Chain A
Amino acid sequence: MFTYWRGYEIDGSSTAYNIVVPQRELISEVLRYFISLKIIDRKSDIFLSYTEREKSASKEFECKKGKYKHDEMEKTCEILESPAVDSFFINVDCIHPDKLYHQVRNELYSISKTRPGAEDRVYNYINPTVSPFRFGPDLRVTFEFSFEEEQAVENHEPEGLVFNREALVNNLRGRHFTITLGCGPCFIYEYAAYINSKLAERFPEIGIDGGLDCEGGFIDGCTYSCSLYEYERITLASENIAETIKILMGEGLIFPQKNVGRYGHEILPCENLFLFNLYNVDRWLDEIIGGKSKALKGILEGKKEYTPEEYECIVRKLSEVEMFDSVDFMHYCTCCVKIGDNNCALTCIMENGRVWMELRVVSEIRDDVVNKLRLHNISIKE
């Protein structure tokens, strides 16, 4: 067990206690730590909603909402610590795997070794990544807490990712509080395991369970359907994007595809390159993505299909927009191309101000694609 309290003793009042009781301080400490995890995107906003009631016996709640920057964490915690607050909910975004610091990325990928069914397969990958298409990972995590105390639970059977089992069982046997960390169905197993394991190690007094990963779902587990290993990155060495694309298309290595239909679920062959992830950019709400939609619409001018030269021109323009980070840039440049029978991606990445073309191919065909590229004297960036 570990507990602590903060404050100096004041004569005349006997021992003075804080209105913010240690339980609330603990939740606040957990929240601060959670937000500080290296996979949480500090550039994204923190969306907060909470309920307040003026009188403890009252059943009337007032719901409030707010949006905060990460450097306004103190304000968020002050709300959480207020005795009037009954429930508290925030959501934050995680950093895309491509954008993680090398060390964090390694730490994250090494978690796969502990994933049921994945132990032997992890090491066959060279430069893996998640799907580059718009149905990619949903990296939003929610942190939810209610100060309504829960009743004791006997005979709890921990399931899924379990940490601090002893604390979990002991805490559940008494009246307890629950923090619920939520994620979407396309969340990545390793991210969830990273968050839970870090929290468990930092707060041994807190028990953690949940997040089933049925049938050892390495690629398509039920709860965590998005895999860190779905695609392999092959970065090409040439900076002449249009010429390289012409060779790839001319030699029949790639066949452009476009998405059609109301929701873009249908994929059909096409003559030129099609910005797959910007299929319905006209419907994007600017306020949700912080002005990016407006910038995109200005560059694209309603066009979505491009010749290799036009594609290179668009890529150069996109690379100059400061508000796009490296993942935004890659995401917007992504075109779907058929390689063999597989839907793969042709995209561009930016490193130190230079733009490189990249193929993101399904993991199983990586070696085959690399061999074919070499046969056609297309260099691969190491």
Chain B
Amino acid sequence: MIYRAEPGTLMMFNADNGITAVVSGNELYSLKKYLEAGVENEFIYRLIDLKLIPEEISECERQEILKEIENTESISAPLRSFAVPESIHIDITTFCPLNCPQCYKDTSKNIEMPFGKFSDIIDRAKALKVFQIALGGGEPLTVGNLPAFVKKVVSCKMSCTITTSGCGLTEELLDELRESGINHIQVSLNGSTKEINSYSRDGFDEAVSSLNILSGSSVQFGINWVARRDNVKDFENIVNYAKELKADNINILRYKPSVREDYGKNLLTKEDFNLLVAAIRKVRGIKIKIDSAFSNILCHIYGNRINPINCGCGAGRRFMMIDPLGRFKPCSHMSLVSEEQDMLQYWLNSPDIAKLRQIEECIYGDCKHCSYLKVCRGCRAICERLQNDINAGEINCPVLNRKEMV
């Protein structure tokens, strides 16, 4: 468990079940009373049931939580963001054996993050009480001592996930990763058949092989599926396939501009988008996750009835990214690289991140006039790539809901 103070709020995270919670006000007082005087009530039992506090709490843990509760009164956080990142995405290598048409990464140079560098980053993240570390690349499975990377993260009580094409996953490696404490593995697959997948991705056989291995293991896993014009009608097949495999989730990613493709050709049309949303609404028996760049899907389904904390671009507000050279970025899809050396300084003082936190005031174009702005904010990376400005609004958003029309 990790407990962290935010202004007036205690945040909690359990890496074993992936639950993040925020407690404030009377609920925080109730927790404090329990820790100080053992006053139990149904709310405390609820926290125990959710495994957010242990049933048998040690003196050390009790003191740690009380200290964090005390800190909630003095700590400050930057505008519209947590005091420190909730999660960090780390690309541990640029190398990938595949050559996917849709890839947005520069894989021309083979750069791998040395373990020592990674270890320092994780120690710093632990000191800041970051909750989650998401490993990516390149292809992270090509990193020789990957289990050691995972073990390092898990030993610091943070959760560790890997996003992979599946290339290189063997039963032996999976055993090592499981023993290292990996919490989740996400495999990228864009089609239920080799043909559909090949329109945008390489390595269909490798992905299917890795999913079969994962399906027979106790490691939680899911499928990353990028929604495109050439595979949108295949979504239901992917859902059925994932259900057969007993995958935990399908994560629907928004298609981002690639140097190898004509972006406009593969972008979802409004009809495609509506088709996808209708298909999503019908899904039962598997968890559907949505890329924050696709927050407009959540807006389309729920309107403004969403807590902004659980919707909208979280770059620089909830998470940040570190590349294999150890450089900081708000998000892996953006070009905004910083030379800042200290993680906290970057989080607190980066002008790039500051811009992202002021997007509600600075955005222009359609998004500025959209009633969903506060819970969506569009995909800043796509807007940056297409319009060279992170303040630019989305173009042709299928969910645009002009304020004057509301």
Contact = CB atoms under 8 A, between A and B. Distances in A.
A20 interface: yes
A6 B18 contact: yes
The DSSP consensus for interface residues of chain B is mixed
Nearest to B17: A6
Interface residues of B, number: 82
A16 B22 contact: no
B43 interface: yes
Contacts of A19: 280, 283, 287-290, 297-298, 301
B18 A14 contact: no
B163 A14 contact: no
A198 interface: yes
Interface stretch (B24-32, B116-124, B201-209, B264-272): B24-32
A84 B281 contact: yes
Contacts of B46: 33, 202-203
A158 B264 CA distance: 55
A243 interface: no
Contact of B290 (A17, A33, A56): A17
Contact of B284 (A16, A21, A82): A82
A11 B42 contact: no
B293 interface: yes
Interface in A198-220: 198, 201-205
A221 interface: no
A7 interface: yes
A207 to B, nearest CB: 12
B20 A16 contact: no
Interface string B250-262: 0101000000000
Interface in A1-34: 1-23, 33
Contact of A7 (B18, B305, B318): B18
A13 to B, nearest CB: 4
Given A17-B295, A17-B311, A201 B42 contact: yes
A11 B282 CA distance: 26
A166 interface: yes
A3 B134 CA distance: 23
Contact of B307 (A3, A166, A202): A3
A15 B22 CA distance: 17
Contact of A15 (B27, B45, B87, B283): B87
A308 interface: no
Interface in B132-179: 132-136, 159, 161-163
Contacts of A205: 27
A176 B214 CA distance: 41
B89 A12 contact: yes
B277 interface: yes
B289 A10 contact: yes
A19 B332 CA distance: 23
Contacts of A204: 26-27, 30, 43
Chain A, interface size category, equals 35 or more
B159 A9 contact: yes
B22 A1 contact: yes
B72 to A, nearest CB: 12
Contact of B23 (A1, A23, A147): A1
A56 B159 contact: no
A17 B283 CA distance: 16
A102 interface: no
Contacts of A202: 42-43, 45-46
B397 interface: no
Contacts of B133: 9
A8 B153 CA distance: 14
Contacts of B17: 6
Contact of B274 (A55, A82, A175): A55
Nearest to B22: A3
A382 B297 CA distance: 66
Contacts of A175: 304-305
B318 A15 contact: yes
Contacts of B27: 1-2, 204-205
Contacts of A22: 307, 310
Interface in B295-314: 295, 297-298, 300-307, 309-311, 313-314
Given A9-B159, A83-B301, A16 B307 contact: no
A34 B130 CA distance: 34
A298 B329 CA distance: 78
A169 B307 CA distance: 19
B301 A12 contact: no
30 contacts: A1-B23, A1-B25, A2-B22, A5-B20, A6-B19, A6-B20, A7-B18, A8-B132, A9-B89, A10-B184, A11-B91, A11-B186, A12-B332, A13-B224, A13-B292, A14-B291, A14-B314, A14-B333, A15-B318, A17-B295, A19-B297, A20-B287, A21-B305, A54-B282, A56-B277, A56-B303, A78-B285, A84-B282, A201-B43, A203-B43
Given A14-B332, A20-B288, 19 more contacts: A2-B21, A4-B20, A6-B19, A8-B220, A11-B89, A11-B91, A11-B161, A11-B186, A13-B163, A14-B314, A14-B315, A21-B305, A23-B307, A54-B281, A83-B280, A83-B302, A175-B305, A202-B43, A204-B26
- What 5 pairs between A and B have smallest CB-CB spacing? A11-B136, A4-B21, A201-B42, A11-B134, A202-B42
Interface of A: 1-23, 33, 54-56, 78-79, 82-84, 147, 149, 166-167, 175, 177, 198, 201-205
